[in-house]
Amino acid sequence: MKILWFIPTHGDSRYLGTAHGARVADFSYFKQVAVAADTLGYEGVLIPTGRSCEDPWTVASSLIDATRRLKFLVALRPGLITPSQYARIAASFDRLSGGRLLINLVTGGDAAELAGDGQFLPHAERYQQAAEFMTVWREIMARSHTGEPFDFRGQHLRVEGARLLYPPVQRPYPPLFFGGSSPEAHELAAAQLDTYLTWGEPPAAVAAKVADVRERAARHGRTLQFGIRLHVIVRETEDAAWAAAAQLLSHLDEDTVARAQQTFGRMDSEGQRRMAALHGGRFNPRDIRQGLEVAPNLWAGVGLVRGGAGTALVGSPQQVAERLKEYAALGLDHFILSGYPHLEEAYRVAELVFPLLPLDVRQRLAQPRLTGPFGEIVANTHVPRAAPAPFAEDTAARARAAG
């Protein structure tokens, strides 16, 4: 399991749908979140894209030198920049970061935002353009290792003698991620991407999407990895976690929910439609689980006012870990998590959930220079007992059960 975190370049807060409890989202804060994720052993961070966010490539570039191992999942937007230029940008970032770039293809689903960016293609044609874009981008990146030029003439794109002189570190190019729920999105993922991402739907729905993309990929002679995008609200007990979920919505009102849902309803994103269908705009401040707990520990309350990923795993560390393992059993490898506020929750998730998951985080962090003691010294004298090795208790329990 590879766990990634999230850089909140669209803003951060303790409460959704209000300025109350908000914090300044600037470089200093982004750096704090990135350094925390790097120190805690997250595989990487997703940096969002869109007009409500700071530019993801600028943010990611500014964080290269602040981190050591952290990878950056950064958006490519077909149609905004030519694939040749995007190839140069991506290759430079990959080289300067020492091979820490991950690519997130984003086709967009908000017609108003796309129009503001000069994009007016309908849904199906956007995916045709994206397919041509990825064909050109992938060939330029792959051929950069041999110096071959590339020619292409399509319905939307044309290049002649396209060439990249400075190849990326990763071969043939940085790993490609993509999320989309329409048939066109599934076909694009199957034909050209490396990891298919889904938003946090109930396990049965996720299993169906994975099966469809996997079958399509097989027809292309390809295999993919899979991942999921989720928020997490984890506390030491289940009751405390649900109380934290209620607090997250404690300053939200029905008018704000209605305005947000009206905006989301104008989008042509199938994924956004599926997120909205999970909660149906229902909001009962007296019972935040009613109609919003769409599967065990899977809560759709975030999507009342947040576009994109709108579900959270809510529960104790054991419950959250079990839900993540259930998704992993469906074939998912990558888990892109987040929580409000993102700095504190990065620590909470790592400290409470990581030890319960099949990760190599503890081993990677246990460098020879980290000799301890760990934890606060008790009464100026006593060193806290060493934490058990990851999975040691689970392994022992399984051994006893097996006789």
Q: In this model, does residue 398 exceed pLDDT 80?
A: no
Q: How confident is the model at residue 361 (pLDDT cuts 50, 70, 90)?
A: low
Interval 190-215: pLDDT, tens = 999 999 999 999 999 999 999 999 99
Alpha-carbon span 314 to 311, nearest angstrom? 9
Is residue 230 in some structural domain?
Answer: yes
Q: What confidence tier does 397 reach under pLDDT thresholds 50, 70, 90?
A: low
Q: How confident is the model at residue 98 (pLDDT cuts 50, 70, 90)?
A: very high
Q: Express each pLDDT in 5-18 by its tens digit.
A: 999 999 999 999 99
Position 282 scores a pLDDT of 85
Q: Which residue has the tokens 């790097």?
A: 38
Q: What is the pLDDT of residue 374?
A: 72
pLDDT of 392: 44
Q: 165 lies in a domain?
A: no
* Residue 366: predicted pLDDT: 45
The contacts of residue 163 (CB under 8 Å, 6+ apart) are 140, 143, 144, 147, 148, 149, 150
Would you say residue 341 lies in a domain?
yes
Q: How far is CA 113 from CA 17, 263, 362, in A?
A: 20, 11, 42
Stretch among 23-27, 233-237, 254-258, 393-397 having the lowest mean pLDDT: 393-397
* CB of 9 closer than 8 Å to CB of 30: yes
60 band by pLDDT with thresholds 50, 70 and 90: very high
Q: How far apart are CA 46 and CA 323, in angstroms?
A: 21
Q: Say yes or no to pLDDT of 76 above 80.
A: yes
Evaluate if residue 387 carries a pLDDT over 70. Answer: no
Supply the mean pLDDT for the chain.
91
Decide if 166 is inside a domain: no
Helix (H, G, I), strand (E, B) or coil at 20: coil
How many domains are there within the chain? 1
pLDDT at 37 over 90: yes
Give the separation between CA 156 and CA 333, rounded to whole angstroms. 34
User: Domain for residue 155, yes or no?
Assistant: no
pTM, rounded to two decimals:
0.90
Does position 112 have pLDDT exceeding 80, yes or no?
A: yes
SS3 label, residue 302:
helix
Q: What is the pLDDT of residues 231-274, one digit of tens each?
A: 999 999 999 999 999 999 999 998 999 898 888 888 888 988 89
* 132, part of any domain: no
CATH number, residue 369: 3.20.20.30
**Is position 252 within any domain?**
yes
Percentage of the chain lying above the pLDDT 70 cut: 92
- Quote the pLDDT of residue 401: 52
Give Cα 109 distance to the centre of its chain: 17
368 has a pLDDT exceeding 50: no
Range of the domain at 31: 2-76+175-377
Please compute Rg for the chain using Cα positions: 22
Instruction: Report the pLDDT averaged over residues 54-76.
Output: 97
User: In this predicted structure, which of 62-66, 282-286, 313-317, 348-352 has the lowest mean pLDDT?
Assistant: 282-286
Whether residue 372 has pLDDT greater than 80:
no
Q: Is the pLDDT of residue 53 over 80?
A: yes
Q: Which of 144, 63, 137 is nearest to 100 (CA)?
A: 63
Q: Is position 162 within any domain?
A: no
